[in-house]
């Protein structure tokens, strides 16, 4: 019985790790693409996870993740942005540029 519990725990950890890496890759790609479309640079190719919780999406429980990143404009100033990943898809990207907040809804 102990071996079965350990095996299930390992499988759960493996699934979470795979899911997390997949979410990071999807957010990084979407963030880079949208940042480049705005004429800015996605800095350091890195994301920092700020929030993770379980929320409903389309009537089902799903992981909700919020990542933070930095980008630069033509003047080489650093700005922050956030990427929301919910239910396996990137749903929103926000850019905090000077005094403006540009919000892009990617899916509903």
- Among candidate residues 11, 101, 91, the one with its CA nearest the CA of residue 58: 91
Mean pLDDT of the region 2-16: 93
For residue range 42-79, what is the model confidence (pLDDT) as tens digits?
A: 999 899 999 999 999 989 999 999 999 999 988 889 99
Residue 91, CA distances (Å) to 5, 25, 50, 61, 66 in order: 35, 14, 16, 16, 10
| Single pTM value for the model | 0.89
Share of the chain above pLDDT 70, in %: 98
Whether 68 and 81 have beta carbons less than 8 Å apart is answered as yes
Q: Is the pLDDT of residue 104 over 90?
A: yes
DSSP-assigned states of every residue in 4-62: HHHHHHHHHHHHHHHHHHHHHHHHHHHHHHHHHHTT-EE-TT--EEEEEEEEEETTEEE
Mean pLDDT of the region 14-38: 95
Residue 108's pLDDT is 60
CA distance 13 to 7: 10
Number of domains in the chain: 1
Domain range enclosing 29? 2-105
Q: Is the pLDDT of residue 107 over 80?
A: no
């Amino acid at each position: 019985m102990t071996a079965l519990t350990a095996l299930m725990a390992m499988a759960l950890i493996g699934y979470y790790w795979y899911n997390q890496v997949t979410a990071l890759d999807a957010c990084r790609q979407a963030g880079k693409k949208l940042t480049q479309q705005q004429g800015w640079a996605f800095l350091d190719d890195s994301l920092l996870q700020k929030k993770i919780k379980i929320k409903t999406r389309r009537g089902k429980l799903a992981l909700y993740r919020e990542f933070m990143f930095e980008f630069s404009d033509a003047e080489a100033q650093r700005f922050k942005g956030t990427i929301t990943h919910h239910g396996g898809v990137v749903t929103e990207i926000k850019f905090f540029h000077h005094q403006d907040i540009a919000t892009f809804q990617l899916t509903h």
